[in-house]
Every structure is written in C-alpha cells, then in structure tokens.
Amino acid sequence: MAYLSDLTPRELEILQLVLAGWTNKAIAAEIHICEKTVEFHLNNVYTKVGVRTRMLASLWAIRQGVELDPTSEGRRFNFLTPS
C-alpha cells in the first residue's frame, strides 16, 4: 500500500493539480516545466500508487486525505489527518 509520503514533493504537487482538474498542459505552464516532464512525474505516481489513470490517481489521493481548499481557487490543498 502506498502513502502520500511515498511521493516526491513534485509528484505530490502534480497529483494535487490533477485532482483539481488541471490538464498536463496547464500543469506544465503553472509550475514552469515541459508537458513531457509532467507526464513523467504522473507515470511515477501511477506506478507508486498502483493505478493506470489520472481519475484513479485522484481517487487514491482523496482516500489518502488530500482535500481541495475552496478559498484558493483550487490551487492550494489541505491534508486531512485521521481523528
């Protein structure tokens, strides 16, 4: 089983943007990398969490406690901790 801590900071950042509905092209422009690099990081995420699609990766992120912060237009994220 994979955990958020298994992802690099960049992989987590890209996963968060995927969760927010951003395209690879938009992610690349936002964090100033090329689109192929976004694809590279996403493929690493898919491998680490054991999924094949961005939708399944997003569902995994939600299950791990990643939550969008509604006050920041989908760019900032909070992590829920179990109570």
pLDDT tens column, 47-65: 999 999 999 999 999 999 9
Q: How much is the pLDDT for 82? A: 45
| Measured distance CA(21)–CA(59) in Å, rounded | 12
Domain that holds residue 17: 4-79
Comparing CA positions, the residue from 11, 21, 5 lying closest to residue 73 is 21
CATH number at residue 49: 1.10.10.10
69 is written with which tokens? 């912060």
Comparing CA positions, the residue from 6, 2, 5 lying closest to residue 59 is 2
Of residues 38 and 2, which shows the higher confidence score? 38
Are the C-beta atoms of 72 and 12 separated by less than 8 Å? no
What is the count of structural domains for the chain?
1
For the chain, what percent of residues have pLDDT higher than 70?
Answer: 82
